[in-house]
Amino acid sequence: AQTVTQSQPEMSVQEAETVTLSCTYDTSESDYYLFWYKQPPSRQMILVIRQEAYKQQNATENRFSVNFQKAAKSFSLKISDSQLGDAAMYFCAYRELTGNQFYFGTGTSLTVIP
């Protein structure tokens, strides 16, 4: 089974600063999808960003961007101009191109300091 590893259980960032959350994964597939989900205190799971492995260009959504390093099997999330509302648990997830199952990491709890 594929594994997704988030090695930072907790991170903190000053408001308006930039923070990077790490994610690595293990797979023998060449094509797959990667996702970052945000879970605020409300516990709702919200899709932040998605990356297709066959695309070399890193995905970007407003203040959120990823650094996808396919050879290193690394998929980090960069949050720029951090806002108080960004405080949440962030989960990295992997899915095979034709698979039915998502594999989630254990999450990184992000604190934003005013």
Which residues form the interface with another protein (CB under 8 A)?
33, 35, 37, 42-47, 50, 91, 95-107
- Smallest distance from another protein to CB 93, Å: 8
- Smallest distance from another protein to CB 108, Å: 10
For tokens 């960032």, name the residue.
13
Closest CA to 93 of 110, 78, 106, 111: 106
Using DSSP bridges, classify how beta strands 88-96 and 10-14 pair: parallel, antiparallel or unpaired. Answer: unpaired
Residue with Cβ nearer another protein (18 or 106): 106
Q: Return the exposure string of 34-51: e unless at least 16 CB atoms fall within 10 Å of the residue's CB, then b.
A: bbbbbeeeeeeeeebbeb
Residue with Cβ nearer another protein (28 or 71): 28
Residue with Cβ nearer another protein (56 or 101): 101
- Smallest distance from another protein to CB 60, Å: 16
